[in-house]
Amino acid sequence: MTSDERVERISEYVFADPPVSGYSAALFLHETLDPPVELEHEGVWPRAATESAMTLVARLRAAGFRTALIISGDRHGPDANAEHNPALFDVVIRDRAGDEASATMLLKAAEELEVLPREVVVITASADTAGAARSAGFGLVVGVRGRASRQHLEDAGAMVVVGDLAELDLGVSRSGPWVLGYDGFDPMHEGHREVLTALGNGYLGFRSAHPERRDDGVHYPGTYVAGVFNRTRVDVEGHQVDEEHMVNLPSWLPFDVQFGDSPWWSEQQARHADEQRRLDLRRGVLTRLVSLKDRSGDLDIVQRTFASMEDPHLVAMETTLTPRGWSGRVRVRAGVDAAIRNANTGTPVTTHLTPPDFTVVDDVLVCEVDTTQSGTRIALAIRTEVDGADDVLARQRHVGTSSATEEFDLLVTDGTPIRMVKIAALVTSQDPAIASARDGAMAVLRRHTENFDTLLERHQAAWQRLWQLFEVRLHGQPDAQLMLNLHLFHLLQAISPHTSRVDAGVPARGLNGEGYRGHIFWDEMFVLPVLGQRLPEITRGLLDYRWYRLDAAREAARADGGVGAQFPWQSGSDGREETPQQLYNERSRRWMPDNSLRQRHVGLAIAFEAWQYFQETGDLPWLATRGADLMVEVGRYFASRATWDPADERFHIDGVMGPDEYHDGYPEAPGEGLRDNAYTNVLTAWLFARLAGAREHLDGHYWDDVADRLQITTEDLQRWEQLRRDLSVPFHEDGIISQFAGYDRLAEFDWAGYRHRYGNIGRLDLILESEGDATNRYKLSKQADVLMLLYLLGADGLREQLAEMGYHLTRDDLRRTLQYYSGRTSHGSTLSRVVHASVWAAFDPAHSWDLFREALVADLDDTQGGTTRHGVHLGAMAGTADIVVRSFAGLTLNGGDLSFSPSLPEHLTGVSFTIQHRGHCLAVTVTHTQLVVRAAPTTAVPVGVRMGAIRHELAGDSTVTAPSPTVTERKAER
């Protein structure tokens, strides 16, 4: 379904009630409709803000809201004529006394709307107005970031803050730090809600699509298993493209109800009343409450759903039906839908499954399908049970060509609940220790004969064990805590201990959408630090995904004219390069080259994480048998790409792209790659230094085996040592690190003009191509590039690494580099603000906090232009948790020691988290005054804990307490 078809389908849905209960009117302040041009800076998009505001006004009025506009001061522009357009606003008030609306004016607007203040949503970009609305008792105060920062608006009284009104979901409910909820039904945001309330356990995941609905352009049932891919040939705008996709599997969710004179629930176009959706993050349970209306009375429905964290193959849904004001018959349909396609991202729509085989064994409905090319067998076994009905009048099965259902005819009594329980088992032929997928699924159901409540209790206990390790506490910030908990929840749903049982990597968009076709990128760079510090065995399994594909990477290196291992930018089932070579630009309706595969730095990310895993665990046998393989072969590849220039007596690497993604070549040679990308060259030198360290750790029989198996020669070692010292790093004349050689000669970009013209400029590559221009011409970045070096190595680590290469930088040089690129980055990737927030912490904690808050809402507010409905951005979600540990607490690994250099923002009173390090389980608390590290009882060898220059030795069942640097000391360091 195309985006235009989706919009048309959404428009067919109507609100039976307002999109959120409790509010009946909306009050807009003038600046949300026509932001002044002089307010343009990062995140303020005048044109987009106006369009989004007017769209929201129209949608609210269609939902039955009354609307008002307050125009303060002497305003001209789109809002100045609003009073002559009653189709937009019921009430328009002019206040020429000042530029900010007072509480008196707000209350006057509510009075003229004939509603109470608590029924009104106030939407403003002014912190003063937000404060006035909050103090006057208005029901919901929405701040639009731009004139004031997110934190400023929240401090003033805004309850919700968005960057653009297109992000505003009035139905969102935040009930404390552990519950995310949505009230009402909003077709515009339904895909977004399905993803954020999706469920999973690291083996499988599914979107929280309404069980009574099929894929219709608004709802999208999606079920995915880690590592299940299929290749197909598709037509994209007339081009035949070979693609591999993570496969959308048969849906186990279908559940439908009919009572009285009403049609089946699924056939009702008018929406039901009082819908609520609540996701309990601590317990991993989604609860949905709905009340269906009929002339004979109401039918209350409560559904509780979970993906078992105790048994990865098990999912369950309990539906409780309670008649209100009537007794009689209820018909229920429950079953499986195998008419499933991959259609989440629009075109092309692909079918990856063979026609299903349905069988019934001992009241268990079994659906079996195969993937069309990869030949993976999928078996879904479902058991449906009824409890509490006065009588089951009939039970029939209906098997069609693509779906199968069981239909129950039940007799119910007014006020007496009945329970319908669906328990499903999903197994594939890729799973270990099974005779067949069908036998495996049936075995799962045979093992779990317990009732729903017992299964739920075991599932919740498994989540509790995970949270004991993964909870990261932000002291004094309950709203931010909810967002961070949501991020960690989705991380663990996509990757958990169960992931280690299958051959799977880190899916960039999790297991709840088809963005990027389910491929694996470099996101493990942001994900593995969070996992490795808590459950390193998961990290080991994910690194095994790369190790198993080492031969494919070696083959790719040979095909590229090199040696060693060249890992793909996009990876799927077998390790071949999955990056498309062309990209269709919907703005220009032209194809444009996609040279992303030149991002060879993905191999450096893999080598970096291999070394980090060893630092966390001290696992010498793994380093000798797998870690060294990854590091050596990646190093060999970059050594083969480096050429010596006697003119400057430096090695150079040509033909690559950095993480930026906006520059695939020079203006005169697009697509041919760049010379001396600083990130690539510095991290390559770092890798050769780590290989020297690995050799020291493995000295003796381990290294003898590695050298013999990988055929490492004396000449190899000598060349690596040269590259470690003599790789070239480009600089501007003023000492700022150049993103690549020649970057300083590019043209400056008109940031303000393009923000005003286009609004969201995250994808400048597409915008400029549609104008006949190219990003290669300008000093701009989609996301952090040079700054990734600060992110990975830290300020001191980067200075040390550059010094080893013969470049001596001051801390001020790094600060100026940070400032330079911060002003030239569009943040077109959710990862970008993660990196910027992290590196700014050591220089300006207040600014870091602002960026951190923006990173936290990337998926919650869907700030990337509606892309969250294609899956969460897993790297960014994990990265926010890593910021707390890496940057706010300042934790780094120094050999076997843990070093702390805190940079807590003032908005936090402290942070707490748990890590596992070399056999120790450590509870860490960092405040503005002290560091406390408590070790659980263990027989592991004591580890070192450093705060500044002081080292403490920490043994099991003991505590280290150290004073934090004073504010004066921290400012002096910065």
Task: Write out the catalytic residue numbers.
Answer: 661
Contacts (Cβ under 8 Å, ≥6 apart) of 282: 178, 463, 464, 467, 485
DSSP H or E run through 631: helix 628-641
Comparing CA positions, the residue from 954, 943, 948 lying closest to residue 618 is: 943
User: Please, are residues 484 and 472 in contact by the beta-carbon 8 Å criterion?
Assistant: yes
Q: How far is it, in rounded angstroms, from Cα 528 to Cα 610?
A: 10
Quick one: how far is CA 521 from the chain centroid? 13
Quote the tokens at residue 158.
Answer: 């805004």
Q: Where are the alpha helices (DSSP H) in 69-179?
A: 103-113, 127-135, 150-156
Q: How far is it, in rounded angstroms, from Cα 965 to Cα 843?
A: 15
DSSP state of 775: G
Comparing CA positions, the residue from 29, 6, 327, 48 lying closest to residue 189 is: 6
Quote the tokens at residue 417.
Answer: 């609940």
Helix-strand-coil split of the chain, %, nearest 5: 35, 25, 40
Number of separate helices (H) and strands (E) present in the chain: 26, 38
DSSP H or E run through 639: helix 628-641
User: Please, are residues 882 and 837 in contact by the beta-carbon 8 Å criterion?
Assistant: no
> In what order do the strands lie in the sheet containing 473-475?
473-475, 910-917, 920-927, 930-935, 959-963
Q: How far is it, in rounded angstroms, from Cα 528 to Cα 538?
A: 9
Cα angle 618, 619, 625; round to 5: 140
DSSP state of 405: E
Name beta bridge partners: 28. 69, 123
Q: How far is it, in rounded angstroms, from Cα 455 to Cα 447?
A: 11
Q: Give me the phi and psi of 649, to 5 degrees please.
A: 55, 50
Q: How far is it, in rounded angstroms, from Cα 583 to Cα 664?
A: 14
Contacts (Cβ under 8 Å, ≥6 apart) of 652: 642, 643, 645, 675, 676, 727, 728, 741
Q: How far is it, in rounded angstroms, from Cα 184 to Cα 187?
A: 10
Q: Which CA distances in Å does 570 have to 132, 523, 723?
A: 50, 11, 27
